[in-house]
Chain A
Amino acid sequence: MSVALQCKSVSKHFEGVKAVSNVSFDVQQGALHAVIGPNGAGKTTLFNCITSEYAPTSGEVLFEGNRISGRRPHDLPTFGASRSFQRTSIFANLTVAQNVWLSAFRQFAGNKVEIVRSADSHPEVAEVIARTLDEVGLARYADAPATELAHGDQRLLDFAIALAPKPRLLLLDEPTAGLSRTDTQRVMNLIEGFKGRYTIVLIEHKMDVVMRISDRLTVMYFGEVLAEGTPEEIRANPRVREAYLGRRA
């Protein structure tokens, strides 16, 4: 296995506040790496540095040797990366299939702008949409307006949008945030099914959720890396227990 994603000494400061300080980790190709930590640990800021929502104050993020940090958010898919959003982020006024069409078409057409042909005139794109909706289990809702989906199904649609372009890197920001227990289980099963096929970086707040499925974890605390290791190592780490698990034990 080779290293796919490298976070190299990423720091992000906001007017003197060190939201993220010197965070480094490597993710092997096909591995699932979780970044966990209590609220305010800087997980989401780190995520935003990886996805170019923010430019890091220092440090960089490499994927397959290319720098993906410090660019514009719309450059990310060019490197074979897709992201999901913490709060479900879909296109409310479009149908389920049209939601997925957006990312499938982007992958199909690249930067080309098409203004004459009908949006649905590409059978290749339709095929990708059908396959993706099948994978997340939303095929029967293809023509329903996205707003009519149940909350958990909307999160699955959010995933489908990220999956359609066949990314090599999946960046998932608290995929189970705000979901019921049943829906959390559905989403975790889906992510478990991704393992090996995608390199995944997962930001998560709920520790129990990630311990089972992660290959490695980085624990953040007040913007810094507190520990890194396999789930067993993390579970056994006294500093993690103190900072994070301690409150629950």
Chain B
Amino acid sequence: MSDELIRLSAAALGAKLASGEVSSVEATRAHLDRIAAVDGAVHAFLHVEGERAIETAAEIDRQRAAGAPLGPLAGVPIAIKDVLVTKGMPSTSGSRILEGWIPPYDATPVTKVREAGMIPLGKTNMDEFAMGSSTEHSAYGPTHNPWDLDRIPGGSGGGSAASVAAFEAPLALGSDTGGSIRQPAHVTGTVGVKPTYGAVSRYGSIALASSLDQIGPVTRNVLDAALLHDVIAGHDPLDSTSIPEKWPSMADAVRRADVSGLRIGVIKELDGEGFQAGVRQRFHESLELLEKQGAEIVEVSAPHFEYAIAAYYLILPAEASSNLAKFDSVRFGLRVTPEGGGTVEQVMSATREAGFGPEVKRRIILGTYALSAGYYDAYYGSAQKVRTLVQRDFDAAFANVDVLASPTAPTTAFKFGEKMADPVSMYLNDIATIPANLAGVPGISLPSGLAPEDGLPVGIQFLAPAREDARLYNVGAALEQLLEARWGGPLLAQAPDLSSHELTATEEGAL
């Protein structure tokens, strides 16, 4: 029974909860048991709520028994990326500098999830301050890819993706600054959506790069993503960049799942050199399936995408260097006092030296440089201009097509340590996902199959114009149906059974 419960989609579990077939306490307990069984090996969680989650679940069960009107996800457990602050639950953003910090307030998406009656299970692992593509930069050790525990689960939201892929949670919240929701989805065989910039409030999301960050759903199927999207999206007066207009239902778009007449543009620049053969193969097979259903596939060009990574690695560190200045040992978090005391300046510097990992320091120094007097125009200023050019590429493309498509990332999951020594090659991982963040447009990644050469999951990415998130759910749901018909079920059904794998990976100290 318990194993059955954890394998249900969020939508299906929600339906069973609504019908009274199972209680939220049972469902929550099943997921906590699963976490206890496999998270030693996966290490998706930095914090697990335990009994408090059970109490919350019991409260929802009581409300349901009392006939309270509840939404489709009420009583469904959820994992929360540790980038979001949670009242009464530790929030570290994967950093030593925030170890043990308990925020006095909830992030708006967390508030919305709670209001929807969902049960927070805990906080998921991530690259420190969301800087990374592998979760190897977490101060608390990496998360392991449930498909192969020696491989990375993607990043920065490797914890959220792995928790979902390992059936520890039906769905999760993630954050995507340059691909941190979509790229982990790609390497774990899950679904991830980066909504339009401003669709989901950033209030309470520990900022990496304010003009790029966006919170979104991490799930095992497209409908679950849509249901969660509908819960968390909407105007928030606490976030100035939050879009005030009402949104259509994403779940309705999933139920439409109709691609006839849909024009899909294949981005020429993201379909060639540098992309693994199996990644491209599954990508093109997916396009063929859609074409058979009446979609029209056209090639489009985005000539400035080749500058996107460069612009991104100027804008992000610049904004991050300023956003991360608040970690100074005065009001919250770590304080390290140099031996024999020191001035407040020395305490701040010692704290930041001890509290930040190498990647964070690298980007802070880089961003400080890009903003400093005499370099601003050449670096930050130029990068902001590239941003305009990338937006123009999108505008031109969307003048001709309804959605754009590309592989989500160039390769399948790589092994731990493979790219740690070379930051530039690590940065190239985000080549397909970054343009959406620069332009603010929404993107989805869903599984397109396993790469024949290594048997690891690969994803396909769709991008839509800003505010047209519903198009992603429509096309994503259509493709998912076609692929699952071919596979005979969800791709994740083919993932290794972790319960037999047991806890050996961490016990042996793989990393």
Partners in one complex: no
Q: Which residues of A are at the interface with B, using a C-beta cutoff of 8 A?
A: none
**Footprint of A on B, CB under 8 Å?**
none
